[in-house]
Amino acid sequence: MRIDLHNHTNHSDGVLTPKELLDRAIKNNVDIFALTDHDSVFGCDEIYELAKDTNVKVIKGMELSTTYKGESVHIICLFKGNVVPDIIRDFSVDMLNKRKERAIKMIEKIRDIYNVNVDVKELLEDGEIITRANMYRHILKHNNISESDASFMVSTESKGYIQSTKLSVEDGLILAKSGGCITIFAHPCLVKEAYVEEILAYGFDGIEARYPSIKNDELKYRELAKKYNLFISAGSDCHGDKTHADIGTCTLDEYEFEIIKNKLQIKELI
């Protein structure tokens, strides 16, 4: 059995529709996967219903964006009973509106500073949650410029950059736990190493010890899991593009998944 607990669709910054992600999971022989769009739950019900006609099981979730001492920290939230908590759905709607406002201001600022062509209406149709990845693809599509130039324009170093609204790690965990979510520290390898244990001290259920860019460091995160009494998770962080791994790249087996399955209390997984 192959289980992948970290994947995205075009309901955030992925390029695949829920159906396309499901089809790819089937092609890659993934048995169970979680949909964890950034601050968005809008694809969860859709992909869950689509999966009913297949042998693949879908876990509803979300990747919550937070910050710690200026570092971006992502929290995978998996929903008990496969039911999206009302407080998380409300948060997702609020973030949708805030991200749209930020996207409009930022893409117009980039247009004015760097003299590039943009279509705001088209950008807003690119996904539920508009991220810098959406802006990057949009700029490339409408302008004859290099990938590196487009990447810089949406980077934190760009004069056009506008900070997105994010919770602190502490507040993010409070939100997740108030909704009864199972919480996983996503890709700790992307966070400054000196901060990892400080972040873990806030209290997670699991840690993503198996991730495409972790490679030979899995043992290090397994040791941290033991120290903080966490379960081990695995996620490919599939976005459906060439800069991210494909779904099924990093997986758990059925024995590793057992503790998570018991916490989730999802009847079709029992």
> What does each of the 270 residues of the chain score in pLDDT, given as a tens digit?
999 999 999 999 999 999 999 999 999 999 999 999 999 999 999 999 999 999 999 999 999 999 999 999 999 999 999 999 999 999 999 999 998 999 999 999 999 999 999 999 999 987 777 889 889 999 999 999 999 999 999 999 999 999 888 899 999 999 999 999 999 999 999 999 999 999 999 999 999 999 999 988 999 999 999 999 999 999 999 999 999 999 999 999 999 999 999 999 998 897
For residue 31, give both structure tokens.
């048995």
Distances (CA, A) of 196 to 186, 193, 253: 11, 5, 26
Give me 38's structure tokens. Answer: 């950034």
Q: Out of 3.20.20.140, 3.40.605.10, 3.40.250.10, 3.50.50.60, select the CATH number for domain 3-92+167-269.
A: 3.20.20.140
- pLDDT score, position 268: 87
Contacts of 94 (CB under 8 A, 6+ apart): none
Tell me what pLDDT residue 128 has. 72
In this prediction, residue 23 carries a pLDDT of 99
The per-residue pLDDT for 123 is 93
The domain segmentation of the chain, as residue ranges, is 3-92+167-269, 101-153
The pLDDT assigned to 188 comes to 98
CA angle 206, 209, 215 (to 5 degrees): 170
pLDDT of residue 126: 78
SS3 content of the chain, % helix, strand, coil (to 5): 45, 15, 40
Q: How far is CA 38 from CA 17, 140, 169, 183, 255, in A?
A: 14, 22, 15, 14, 28
Amino acid at 210: R
d(CA 180, CA 78): 9
pLDDT at residue 216, as a whole number? 85
SS (H, E, C) 13-71: CCCCCHHHHHHHHHHCCCCEEEECCECCCCCHHHHHHHHCCCCCEEEEEEEEEEEECCE
What amino acid is encoded at 188 in this protein? P
